[in-house]
Amino acid sequence: MSVRLLVFGRQGAGKGTQCVKLAEHYGAPHISTGDMLRQAAAAGTPIGLEAKTYIDDGKLMPDEIMLNVVQERFAQADVVEHGFLLDGFPRTLVQAEALVGLTDIDAAVNIDVPEDVVLERMMGRGRTDDTPEGIANRLAAYKRETVPAIEWFDAKGLLETVDGLGSPDEVTARLIAAIDGRLGH
Ligand code: AMP
């Protein structure tokens, strides 16, 4: 079986935690473009070295590079066999349009948490890009670039918005219900 899922959510909405659980539940590889870039940066690859400045500044990497990263990942056997759960991609309208040119999507979910709540959560998180400036830049990029991409999926009728407040298990249950509805389960 294979499923092709997109998970959206503001930084700090619990997206990473939920994606790990959803990937396990649906048996699909969890593809976090942020994790891939951080690993590439730690390994010192050319893309990783370029990514480091973008990540630390909270700015988005160029679309073209991200599309190559995702396309390469899609070619790997686990994705071909089981599909994917994409976390952190697409993050712009250009990425969204390119993605649906590459593959069908079964469902896109948006984990909805108000901005004041995510700000508080992020301040206590301690990632190296969680400086006040990094956080401000990431939230600004989210509003300017990612909200239009989310709205684009909504306009196509592919998006389910899920309340992200409550315990992690409650949110997981809501996400699974929303996705299963889309999958026709
Ligand atoms: P994340 O872990 O998803 O918050 O990603 C961390 C950082 O990686 C972001 O702030 C961006 O600098 C970069 N990044 C990850 N995914 C993308 C993407 N799809 N497009 C552009 N930049 C990205």
Q: Is the CB of 58 under 6 A from ligand 1?
A: yes
Query: Of all residues in the chain, what percent carry a pLDDT higher than 90?
Result: 81
Q: How confident is the model over 20-67, as pLDDT tens digits?
A: 999 999 999 999 999 999 999 999 999 999 999 999 998 999 999 999
Helix (H, G, I), strand (E, B) or coil at 160: strand
Q: Tell me, in angstroms, the distance from the centre of ligand 1 to residue 26's CA.
A: 24
Phi, psi (rounded to 5 degrees) for 177: -60, -45
Question: Which residues, at least 6 apart from 164, have a Cβ–Cβ distance to it below 8 Å?
Answer: 9, 13, 14, 111, 112, 113, 171
- Position 127 pLDDT exceeds 80: no
Q: How confident is the model over 165-179, as pLDDT tens digits?
A: 999 999 999 999 999
For residues 69 and 115, which has the higher predicted lDDT (pLDDT)? 69
CA angle 133, 15, 44 (to 5 degrees): 60
CA 133/CA 50 separation, integer angstroms:
19
Per-residue confidence (pLDDT) for residue 15, from 0 to 100: 94
Per-residue confidence (pLDDT) for residue 161, from 0 to 100: 97
Per-residue confidence (pLDDT) for residue 173, from 0 to 100: 98
Which residue's alpha carbon is at the smallest distance from atom 15 of ligand 1?
34
Per-residue confidence (pLDDT) for residue 45, from 0 to 100: 96
Q: Is the CB of 37 under 6 A from ligand 1?
A: yes
pTM of the model: 0.94
